[in-house]
Amino acid sequence: MSAPTAQGQARQILDMNAYRPGNGQSRPVERRLANLGAASVLFYRQPIEMVGAEGAWMIAKDGTRYLDFYNNVPSVGHSHPKVVEAVSRQIAQLNTNTRYIVSVVDDYLEALKALLPPELSNVMMTCSGSEANDLAIRVARAATGGTGIIVTETAYHGNTALVTEVSPSALKRGSLPEKVIAIPPPGAAHFGEDIAGGFRASVEAALAEFGRRGIRPAAFLADSIFSSDGILADPPGFLAPAVEAVRAAGGLFIADEVQPGFGRTGDAFWGYARHGVTPDIVTMGKPMGNGFPMAAMVARPDHLEQFCADVGYFNTFGGNPVAAAAGHAVLDVICEEGLQENARETGAHLLAGLRQVAAGDARVTDVRGAGLFIGVDLADEAGRPDPAFTVQVIDAMRAHNVLIGAAGRYGATLKVRPPLCLTREEAERFIEAFRAALAG
């Protein structure tokens, strides 16, 4: 089923636009390699040293200002003054764990829950999306008594031992464990016009395979914008039949909102809401604290009960008052500055502009997305996904002061994901840089 590429191979997520150590690296790069060793991951063939950031811009040590289109963390804008102020005020006053009552924490959780389905009324706070997904899988397994997990082919859900097992795009070698089945991503490349029907059939095939293996399903875990699968947003609603199928087999649906959550898709505050489904469990992270490390898993009380009866839960840093202050400020800024609406409007403008560029260049084979989350497929002359050309475009965009990354099975999809405060002028700037990068 896989599309042929100019370079054949599927790409591992950390491989995309990655620096490769060689001879003659600069002193700061040498230092980093010495400090992080084999675990070092840097962007770009010539890594950039950053010293500051504001709004949608990052500032390098040499004074260059880069328009940041590869950042789903400082989502309301780098160093947003309201978040900075909230964090500074709270850390100067009190920071402690959730075994004390601190009203800032409950104020925040109530504000967050007001944005979620009412039945998902219990929140487990963590420090990373990985921890949140790890918990979600454990809660789903405890609640259902099943163990099987269905994910998509190029999914990434984090870095703990458990979530690495459900993140095919993280594996450099080896295969998924028996309890995990990866299905094709919900795009036209696999399912043609009937994405909803094809995707549901894939989930059903995975469930049947679990049956043959003697494994009961626990959950279907999906990033509801399918970001590492190459950003697959349309048609809204395609997720619903797949969710129905997993529930009919006794499994839960876990919506991983680490990427699409907090207004990014423009149409809705959460990615799953575009599909008209109510998840059993929701996980979130990245933009939640605009850079303050915080994440969460939200579940129904009855689903949480079995897990907490078995092991219970405590997290030293998760859900501390400083995280709550950061998270609350983020929600306020999204609302006060109309950032979800901006994602919808500026995102539509950006999408239209990129489609215009695509109309004039056969190497741009698709532009798709929702709000300020857009995927742009790049191909060679024969129409095959072209990761080498994608890296060339990424480097050329950098030369035009724009930061951008790649996604998808072959690393041949530009992942367009700027802060939600992006202005029309900045969107225009991106389109012009893309045009210039294609021109070589």
Q: Using the rule CB under 6 A, which residue among 69, 156, 373, 410 binds ligand PLP?
A: 156
- Nearest Cα neighbor of 307 from 134, 429, 167 is 134
Which phi and psi angles does 332 have, rounded to 5°? -60, -45
Q: How far apart are CA 133 and CA 261, in angstroms?
A: 14
> Which tokens belong to 383?
């129409």
H helices present in 234-292, as ranges: 239-248
By CB under 6 A, the count of residues binding ligand PLP is 15
Stretch that binds ligand PLP, among 44-52, 156-164, 169-177, 324-332 (CB under 6 A): 156-164
> Which tokens belong to 10?
């599927």
Task: Please give the order of strands across the beta sheet that includes 65-68.
Answer: 50-54, 57-60, 65-68, 402-403
Residue list 267-286, contact with ligand PLP (CB under 6 A): 285
Q: How far apart are CA 43 and CA 40, in angstroms?
A: 10
- Verify binding: residue 144, ligand PLP, rule CB under 6 A: no
- Verify binding: residue 157, ligand PLP, rule CB under 6 A: yes
Which phi and psi angles does 384 have, rounded to 5°? -90, 140
- Verify binding: residue 158, ligand PLP, rule CB under 6 A: yes
- Verify binding: residue 185, ligand PLP, rule CB under 6 A: no
> Taking the complex as a whole, how short is the minimal distance between the CB of residue 225 and ligand PLP, in angstroms?
8
Stretch that binds ligand PLP, among 14-22, 26-34, 153-161, 395-403 (CB under 6 A): 153-161
> Taking the complex as a whole, how short is the minimal distance between the CB of residue 169 and ligand PLP, in angstroms?
10
- Verify binding: residue 256, ligand PLP, rule CB under 6 A: yes
Stretch that binds ligand PLP, among 80-88, 144-152, 255-263, 366-374 (CB under 6 A): 255-263
Q: Using the rule CB under 6 A, which residue among 17, 144, 152, 259 binds ligand PLP?
A: 259
Of the pair 215, 231, the CB lying nearest ligand PLP is at: 231
Of the pair 287, 385, the CB lying nearest ligand PLP is at: 287
Q: Using the rule CB under 6 A, which residue among 75, 130, 365, 413 binds ligand PLP?
A: 130
Stretch that binds ligand PLP, among 15-23, 155-163, 271-279, 377-385 (CB under 6 A): 155-163
- Verify binding: residue 133, ligand PLP, rule CB under 6 A: yes
Coil, strand or helix at 298? strand
Listing DSSP states for 77-94 in one string gives -BT-HHHHHHHHHHHHH-
> Taking the complex as a whole, how short is the minimal distance between the CB of residue 297 and ligand PLP, in angstroms?
11
Q: How far apart are CA 351 and CA 346, in angstroms?
A: 9
Residue type present at position 20: R
> Taking the complex as a whole, how short is the minimal distance between the CB of residue 158 and ligand PLP, in angstroms?
4
Of the pair 258, 379, the CB lying nearest ligand PLP is at: 258
Q: How far apart are CA 23 and CA 32, in angstroms?
A: 15
Site track 294-323 with ligand PLP (rule: CB under 6 A), x = hit: -x----------------------------
Stretch that binds ligand PLP, among 108-116, 151-159, 379-387, 426-434 (CB under 6 A): 151-159
- Nearest Cα neighbor of 209 from 242, 170, 182 is 182
> Taking the complex as a whole, how short is the minimal distance between the CB of residue 159 and ligand PLP, in angstroms?
6
Helix or strand run (H / E) with residue 103: helix 103-113
- Verify binding: residue 223, ligand PLP, rule CB under 6 A: yes
Helix or strand run (H / E) with residue 304: helix 301-310
> Taking the complex as a whole, how short is the minimal distance between the CB of residue 124 and ligand PLP, in angstroms?
15
Q: How far apart are CA 422 and CA 76, in angstroms?
A: 9
Cβ contact 366:377 at 8 Å: yes
Q: Which are the contacts of 89, defined by CB distance < 8 A and separation ≥ 6?
A: 325
For ligand PLP, the binding residues (CB under 6 A) are: 128-130, 133, 156-159, 223, 227, 256, 258-259, 285, 295
